[in-house]
Amino acid sequence: MLSRSTAGLIFTEPGKKIVVFPVYPLTTELHATLTIVESATVGFSSPIPRWHYWSLSQFPYMKNAARVREEWTRREIDKAVKVISRNVPENAWATGSALEFMVLREAAAAKKAQRPPRFHRRRIYNELFGFIIAGHDTTAATLSWGVRCIADAPQAHRKLQSLLQNAFSTALAEHRQPTIDEITSASIPYLDAVIEETLRLSAVFPIVSREAMVDTMILGHAIPKGTSVFFTLNGPSLMKPPIGIPENIWSESLQGTKSRYGEWRAEDVEQFIPERWIDVDDKGVETYNAMKGPFLTFGSGPRGC
C-alpha cells in the first residue's frame, strides 16, 4: 500500500485525483454485531433506558441479531477449544488469539479447582463480545477522520508522504510493505504528530464521566458524593478556545498540571495542524512532544482506553 496506493495519492491539483472506495455487503455476523452495538445508544439518549432497551430487544430483528451472536460465539469458542486441545502451548502468552488465551485460562482454572471446564459460561461470552465491539467503531471512525483530515491538509499530506518514503526507502524500492522490524525501528516524529492530531480532532467518544466518591469541589462548584460528572472532549481548551477560569479556584491537582502541559493557541485550536505537537531544537531536529497541550481522547486514570 505504501508504494502502490499511498505513494500515488498526491493532491497537487483539486479534483484531479479522486479515490472511490468500494462498498461491500456486510456478513451476517457483522451485521448482527453492528445491530446490537447500535442498540446500546438507547442508554445514552432515553429518559427510561432500561425499559426502552427491553422493549427494543423484543423486536424480531433484535432477537435475530442476538441469536446470530450466540451462534457464532459458540462456534468460535468451540474452534478455540479444539485448537488448544490439539496443541497445548507452553504458556498462555504463546496462544494465537485472545479467545484461545481465555480458553486456556479457563482450562487451567478448572484443573486447579478439580472441576470440568465451563467454556460456555456467560462471562466468557460477554468478555469475547466486549473484545470485538470495544474498539471497532472508534477505530474505524478515527481512521475515517484521519483520511478526511489529511485530505484537507495537502501540505501535511505531502510532508508525511515524503517522510514515510524516506523512512521506508528499501520497502518502497522493492515494491513491498515495510516489515514489522522496519516499522518498529523507524523514528518519524511527524507521523506521531499526525496521529495525535487526528485523535485530538476526531473525538470519536466525545464524553467522559466520573462519579464523585466523596463530597468535593470542581472549579468552585460543590459536587455531592455520588454525583456523575460529565465533561466533553470537544469543548473549551481541547478543541475550542478556553473559557478562562481564575486559577484561585483550581484544585491542587489541576494546578500541578500547569507546568506539565502546554496550551493550544486559541486562534487555530480547531484546525488540523500536526506541527503543534513538534519541538524543534537549535539544529533543526524535530521531536514529538505529547505534552504540548491538553489531550483526553483516551480518558485518564484506570478507565483510560
Helix extents (H) in 225-287: 252-257
Query: Quick one: CA dihedral 157, 160, 164, 165, positive or negative?
Result: positive
Cβ–Cβ under 8 Å, residues 288 and 274: no
What letter represents residue 97's amino acid?
Answer: S
Gap between the Cα atoms of 243 and 237, Å rounded: 8
H-helix or E-strand spanning residue 140: helix 136-152
Is 149 labelled a binding residue?
no
Q: Please give the C-alpha separations between residue 7 and each of 13, 21, 273, in angstroms, as whole numbers.
A: 16, 17, 21
Query: And the C-alpha cell for 242?
Result: 478556553
Q: Which residues contact 271 (CB under 8 A, 6 or more apart)?
A: none
Calculate the alpha carbon distances from 175 to 5, 100, 108, 187, 296 in Å. Answer: 11, 35, 46, 21, 38
Annotated binding-site residue numbers? 305
Annotated binding-site residue numbers for heme? 305
